[in-house]
Structure 1
């Protein structure tokens, strides 16, 4: 089995992105699966093109894209991506779309095909915080998740895929407001490792209520 794990480059003025920095720290093999690590640009559409090329080159069974969600306090597993680009800040090539569909003829949303309840539980069972999120935002993280799932739906139906958000790393919050959450790269990498472990070992998700009230 092969698992493709991607992480974004730095954006928004930060010098590092904990997504790819943590991905690089992951083992090269997890539960017998080969782990393929790829950095992607924080650029609308271009990031998903890099993912598509990596899929064509490596033919993975699972694709997990990882991105930074500054302000979140734990690793979060995204359940849904929406067909909308609404950029509060420009991407790394200056693109700042708003009120724009990602795929003109695509569905309003795609749900992850990863066993995110099992993945969340495995991270938590190892003493690390994790939860399921119901919004991936409207920036490049949502863009890459939606386009990945569109690729899976239309071209690579045997692949399972989805998206994970990670918090700031500690060095990123030094000049941010006191109390801004962060997580060490080691803990992020461990969380991603336990998540991949569960994805490899669970083709179907476990049952359980992970909903929110707001």
Structure 2
């Protein structure tokens, strides 16, 4: 019996309990809610597996059991929240640098490599332009991003791409940053941007569908300012 092809969507766990800025503290990471909402859906004949990864683990330790358990996923789409961004952003590149805004899991690296001696960077292997275009067509503001920052989200993206590269997996990997949900902005009494979880789920779903429809990314100049 041929196993059903599948797509892994990850959300990050709680973080920021030591952040000076209270808007960067998440007892429950909204990206995990997005992953859970998509878990079990079947899109274009592919089963979606949504998982929340333990933020306190090394990203490779958190991802490897998911990516290497049986038949590898067709695609790995990591998700995380990026407070202050106004749109969903599809990341282009992960860099081998950790430079944290605050201590996380008892560590606060300042310019350290994620993997000593590892590749300086990995480009996303997802069809990032097709994904952003599909998200906009679904009615969700979306842009390409050229910086996944230097915190945990960048490390998760780097780890997924490194695992796929080193293990020779066919999995295409990348990362999607999501804005704050309105509930978080309201709790912080902030005037910052927000986006409902329903729209965030719609965006990631559209990104999955675009990934499955485009083995090769579209050739289309962005024609817009990017992050």
Which range, TM-score by smaller chain?
over 0.9
Equivalent in the alignment of 1:163: 175
Question: How far off is 1:138 after superposition?
Answer: 0.5
Aligned to 1:200: 212
In structure 2, the residue matched to 1:68 is 81
- Gaps of at least 5 residues in structure 1 are none
Taking the aligned partners of 1:48 and 1:68, their CA distance within structure 2 comes to: 19
Correspondences of 1:138-177 after superposition (within 5 Å) = 138-176=150-188
TM-score (norm 1): 0.93
Match of 2:84, SS state, is: coil
Aligned match of 1:3: 7
Q: Which stretch of structure 1 is more off in the superposition, 75-84 or 145-154?
A: 145-154
Name whichever of 46-55 and 191-200 sits farther off: 46-55
The answer on 1:24 being equivalent to 2:28 is no
Aligned-pair Cα RMSD in Å: 1.6
Aligned mates of 2:142, 2:225 — CA distance in 1? 14
Work out which of the residue numbers 34, 50, 57 in structure 1 matches 2:62. Answer: 50
Kindly tell me the number of residue pairs found equivalent between the two proteins.
212
2:92–2:124 contact (8 Å) kept in structure 1: yes
Matches within 5 A, 1:171-186: 171-176=183-188, 178-186=190-198
Partner of 2:21: none
SS of corresponding position for 1:76: strand
> Does 1:125 pair with 2:129?
no
Runs of 4+ in 1 over 3 A off after TM superposition: 175-178, 211-214
**TM-score, length-normalised on structure 2?**
0.88
Could you tell me how far 1:171 is from its partner in structure 2?
Answer: 0.9
Q: 2:90·2:143 contact (CA, 8 Å) conserved in 1?
A: yes
Shift of 1:212: 3.9
CA offsets, 1:86-125, max 9 Å, x none?
011122x221111211122212111000001001101101
Decide whether aligned partners of structure 1 residues 49 and 125 sit closer, same or farther in structure 2, where only a CA change above 3 A counts: same
Which piece of structure 1 moves more, 79-88 or 18-27? 18-27
Q: Are the counterparts in 2 of residues 25 and 186 from structure 1 also a CA contact under 8 Å?
A: no
1:190 equivalent in alignment to 2:202: yes
**Inter-CA distance 170–213: structure 2 relative to 1 (3 Å threshold):** closer
Larger RCO, structure (CA 8 Å, separation 6 or more): 1
Which whole-Å CA distance do the structure 1 matches of 2:79 and 2:166 have between them?
22
Write the deviation string for residues 13-32 of structure 1: whole angstroms up to 9, x where unpaired: 32221101112112521121
